[in-house]
């Protein structure tokens, strides 16, 4: 099949023909006639300079296409065409990134969803790829703190980045890219690393235009060591934001079941903090199943203990406690099977799974068992939830 292309388009029903985008474009990729304002795919460099100046948001539209819409077609539109479906191609979902490198990382991370990932219906519209490898944003490290105990097996860090003057809007669940400086052994620029943002949309500290990351040092890993070694005051080039499906639902009535291990907790910290700040009395429930070896190895163990149970029902699960049998997240899910079955049967419930790929099977089997017990069919329910934007997997 022919390669698919991401095409930048303008929504003619929302555009007011002010031509500000046309003035902004340094490559003359945008032009207009008496009817519409259009983008020439041959000239557009995806630099995003036109996005922020648009007063309407009509400029921020993208379609995955096999054959790009011509200028003539765009000039004749009364409305934007629907996204075409491409049979058997998972690539045709929401636009998670514009850079192929990042998009393939996300496609791999979302593979466990079992089909085309779909954003929750009530999720905010995310901005995607405002900054790219060619045009990165420069962030300054505001802090770098170890989250796990000194004697823990893993060094997991909480890193706060100040975004300065950069307009870098993030929706909870999105990721950013970090490209370590320099070249690899083959003399090529380093590959980009993708990290989930651990802070909510209004920043690690509201009004401070910053964000935080949860990063595990992988022994011998070049990228994670670069990030974990960053010191306060260091500058780092970042790209993104990325991801357009693994996003918090805005509906306060949405129940959110979050299942994670290790640094997979990052987006869930953002989810929880957003609900705490923006909708503390939301009627929807939030449940967290969070697995680690011991409390000392569970990132954010201390802060989590201060989160009220009315906001977040916590199941912190440990597999290496002395004198206790090993317990994994799927084991705990089975002990509250009735409650979970009730939630799963509710159209307001969203499931998010984030962590190591290894956890997928166990969690999936647990859901299947929970459903069986309640007379539900997980294999039928899961695709429905996914298509409805209520089942999300991001694993690595």
The residue ranges that bind another protein (CB under 8 A) are: 13-14, 16-18, 20, 23-24, 34, 48-50, 52-53, 55-58, 60, 78, 122, 124-127, 130, 165-167, 169, 207, 250
Label each residue of 46-80 as H, E or C.
CCCCCCCCCCCCCCCEEEEECCCCCHHHHHHCCCC
The nearer residue to another protein, 7 or 61, going by C-beta atoms, is: 61
Report the alpha-carbon distance of residue 288 to residue 291 in Å, rounded.
Answer: 10
CB 107 within 8 A of CB 94: no
Q: Closest approach of Cβ 170 to another protein, in Å? A: 11
E-assigned strand segments in the chain: 5-9, 30-32, 37-39, 61-65, 137-146, 156-162, 175-178, 193-196, 210-216, 235-242, 255-261, 286-292, 313-318, 349-355, 391-395
* Helix pair 337-344, 359-373: axis angle to 10 deg: 90
CB 317 within 8 A of CB 332: yes
Q: Is the Cβ of residue 48 or residue 230 nearer to another protein in the bound state?
A: 48
Cβ closer to another protein: 168 or 318? 168
Minimal distance, residue 323 CB to another protein, in Å:
48
Closest CB to another protein among residues 17, 146: 17
Token output for 360:
């997928």
CB of 173 to another protein, least distance (A): 14
Of the two residues 78 and 150, which places its CB atom closer to another protein in the complex? 78
Closest CA to 267 of 246, 251, 294, 283: 246
Smallest separation, CB 306 to another protein (Å): 26
Sheet containing 349-355: give its strands across: 313-318, 286-292, 255-261, 349-355, 391-395
Shortest gap between Cβ of 22 and another protein (angstroms)?
Answer: 11
Cβ distance to another protein smaller for residue 223 or 241? 241
Minimum CB separation of residue 172 from another protein in Å reads 12
């Amino acid at each position: 099949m022919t390669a698919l292309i991401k095409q930048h388009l303008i929504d003619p029903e929302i555009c007011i023909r002010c031509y500000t985008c046309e003035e902004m474009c340094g490559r003359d990729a945008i032009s207009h006639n008496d009817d519409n304002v259009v983008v020439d795919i041959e000239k557009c460099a995806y630099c995003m300079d036109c996005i922020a100046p648009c007063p309407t948001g009509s400029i921020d539209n993208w379609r995955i296409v096999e054959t790009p819409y011509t200028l003539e077609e765009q000039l004749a539109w009364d409305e934007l065409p629907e996204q075409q479906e491409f049979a058997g191609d998972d690539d045709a979902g929401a636009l998670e990134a514009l850079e192929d490198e990042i998009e393939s990382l996300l496609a791999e991370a979302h593979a466990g969803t079992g089909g085309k990932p779909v954003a929750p219906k009530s999720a905010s519209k995310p901005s995607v790829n405002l900054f790219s490898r060619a045009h990165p944003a420069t962030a300054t490290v505001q802090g770098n703190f170890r989250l796990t105990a000194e004697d823990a097996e893993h060094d997991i860090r909480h890193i706060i980045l100040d975004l300065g003057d950069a307009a870098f809007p993030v929706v909870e669940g999105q990721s950013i890219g970090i490209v370590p400086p320099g070249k690899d052994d083959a003399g090529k620029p380093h590959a980009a690393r993708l990290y989930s943002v651990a802070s909510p949309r209004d920043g690690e500290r509201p009004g401070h235009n910053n964000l935080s990351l949860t990063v595990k040092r992988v022994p011998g890993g070049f990228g994670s060591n670069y990030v974990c070694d960053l010191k306060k005051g260091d500058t780092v080039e970042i790209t993104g934001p990325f991801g357009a499906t693994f996003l918090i639902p805005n509906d306060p009535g949405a129940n959110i079941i979050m299942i994670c291990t290790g640094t997979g907790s990052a987006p869930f910290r953002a989810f929880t903090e957003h609900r705490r700040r923006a909708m503390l009395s939301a009627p929807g429930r939030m449940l967290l199943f969070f697995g680690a070896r011991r409390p000392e190895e569970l990132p954010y163990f201390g802060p989590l203990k201060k989160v009220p149970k009315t906001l977040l029902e916590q199941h912190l699960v440990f597999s290496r406690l002395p004198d206790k049998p090993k317990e994994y997240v799927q084991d705990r899910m089975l002990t509250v099977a009735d409650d979970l079955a009730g939630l799963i049967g509710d159209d307001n419930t969203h499931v998010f799974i984030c962590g190591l790929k290894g956890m997928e099977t166990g969690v999936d089997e647990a859901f299947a068992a929970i459903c069986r017990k309640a007379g539900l069919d997980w294999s039928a329910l899961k695709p429905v939830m996914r298509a409805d934007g209520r089942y999300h997997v991001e694993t690595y």
